[in-house]
Amino acid sequence: MGKTAIITGGGRGIGRAITLALAQKKFNVVVTYVTRRDCGEQTATEVRKLGCEALVVQADVTKRESVRQLISTATGKFGTVDVLVNNAGILQQKLFNTISDEDWDTMLATNLKSVFLCSQEIMPVMVRQRGGSIINISSSGGQLGGMLAVHYAVSKAGVISLTRSLARVGAPDGIRVNCVTPGLIETEMSQKEIRSEVGQQKISKEIPLRRAGQVEEVATAVAFLASDEASYITGQSINVNGGLYMG
């Protein structure tokens, strides 16, 4: 039946590009969504044109029972899950002194707790398979910090730390865990920032390559980490940021 990948939030933006890149590598895919099933179905249609199977599943990855149902559905359909891409996330820009308790809790739940839940629930499946790959999507904001999105930066820094810890946990069972940290990437979510004066200054003064990245450039890194070519790579953060952060 071939290998299978779950991509959370795989119907839009970076997630969509990752889904299609994995399909090009002949992965069957499970795409999750919260409210925009239409995006998931559109992406699934493109996957099927590439000759792979696609399953679109509604899942709230901040809730354990929903995550369990997602994994049960995926394994019921495909038998195994070889790759998990924890891509689902949100961005909110607010001054630090205006961030509410609700803002903080929502950000950490969506961007960090979801990675914990999905990884914890998929690991027994991968242990039984004696291998697998978990790829988490963080952000250069988690490396640099962010004055206008402190809670976002904290959540993404947590993803990097969680990646390193899970790499040690999973290694004895052949489970690799890595992280991709995009910089300023052209997506629906980033268009406002890119078009702003601040965004243009960031591109011209802070990004050595002097441009925003493309979703396909992030997806290429993810597809590599998911492949057997990356079989000796675990616990790493692959920066896809045009030189915005060099570390």
Residues pairing with 31 in the sheet: 7, 56
The string of pLDDT tens digits covering residues 153-198 is 999 999 999 999 999 999 999 999 999 999 999 987 777 778 888 7
Q: Give residue 227's pLDDT.
A: 96
Q: For residue 236, tell me if it sits in a domain.
A: yes
Residue 222 is predicted with a pLDDT of 98
Give a yes or no: residue 121 inside a domain: yes
Q: Within a domain: residue 246? A: no
Q: Is 33 a catalytic residue?
A: no
Mean pLDDT in each 10-residue stretch from start to end of the chain (247 residues)?
Answer: 92 95 96 90 94 95 98 96 96 94 98 98 97 97 92 98 98 98 88 79 90 96 97 98 92
Q: Would residue 141 count as lying in a domain?
A: yes
Whether residue 11 lies inside any domain: the answer is: yes
233 in a domain, yes or no? yes
Give me the pLDDT at residue 35, please: 84
* CA–CA separation, 158 and 102 (whole Å): 18
CB atoms within 10 A of CB 18: 32
- Count Cα atoms within 13 angstroms, Cβ side, for 80: 15
d(CA 206, CA 17): 25
**Structural domain contains residue 245:** no
At 197 the pLDDT is: 80
**Is residue 130 assigned to a domain?**
yes
Please tell me the distance from the alpha carbon of residue 53 to that of residue 4, in angstroms, as a whole number: 9
Measured distance CA(133)–CA(25) in Å, rounded: 15
Token pair in block for residue 13: 């933006």
Element spanning 48, H or E: helix 37-49
State pLDDT tens for residues 3-27: 999 999 999 999 999 999 999 999 9
Of these residues, 33, 152, 232, 245, which one is catalytic? 152
Domain count, the chain: 1
Question: Residue 195 belongs to a domain with what CATH number?
Answer: 3.40.50.720
**Per-residue burial over 53-83, b = 16 or more CB atoms within 10 Å of its CB, e = otherwise:** bbbbbebbbbeeebbebbbebbbeebebbbb
Containing structural domain, residue 81: 4-240
